[in-house]
Amino acid sequence: MSENKIETIEQRVSYGVGRQLGDQLRNNPFKDFDVSAVQAGLADAIANSASQVSDEDLNEAFGIVSQKMQELEQAEAKEKSAEGEAFLVENAKRDEVTTTESGLQYEVIATGEGEKPTAASTVRVHYHGTFVSGDIFDSSVDRGQPAEFPVGGVIAGWTEALQLMTEGSKWRLYVPYNLAYGERGSQGAIPPYATLIFDVELLTIVS
């Protein structure tokens, strides 16, 4: 359907539904969609026509693709893990970087004069989080709004580091994946096995 034929309310709604479906497919991890086959399946479903592919063949195809995608995700995860490990090995050689027994690395940017929080404390902080690539994934600094949370309710790398910091301090944390979001990542924002870098400023101990 050419653009100048999308004139009626029904046509616009239909086009909008198609656009929404296309957006979903474009963002799907599977990238080898055959558009003509998608159109055929859509048309058959709307018309309530018999499927051109048996349930057995459909299930087999979905299973094969699912397996391939899992293998791809595992390969990408291994690559991400190796990338993070290599970064941490080199980073540990820098004089200004301290590595703790757990594998957490930190660099002191500024030292405050306040108290140290405990695992039971609630703190207010500013933070700026990036991947080792430098890409930003989260930042209270960019939002202009400090974050407040219990020290014992965050990732292990943060829980450890915050108890070493004093109020007013600013550190750069280099957090290996096992002290961050592990093998699963976090809701699409953090991929599995990701090493993370945080600039953390401990503003105050709230309680």
Q: Tell me which residues are annotated as active site.
A: 127, 137-138, 155, 181, 198
What is the C-alpha to C-alpha distance for residues 81 and 87, in angstroms, rounded to an integer?
10
Identify the H or E element spanning 143.
Answer: helix 140-143
Q: Backbone phi, then psi, for 198, in 5-degree steps?
A: -130, 130
**For 106-125, what is the HEC assignment?**
EEEEECCCCCCCCCCCEEEE
Burial category of 186 from C-beta neighbours within 10 Å (exposed 0-12, middle 13-18, buried 19 and up): middle
Give just the sign of the alpha carbon dihedral 41, 45, 49, 54: positive
Distance of CA 42 to the CA centre of its chain: 32
Residue 169, both tokens? 């301090």
| Tokens found for residue 4 | 């100048």
Give CA–CA dist 101/96, Å, rounded.
17
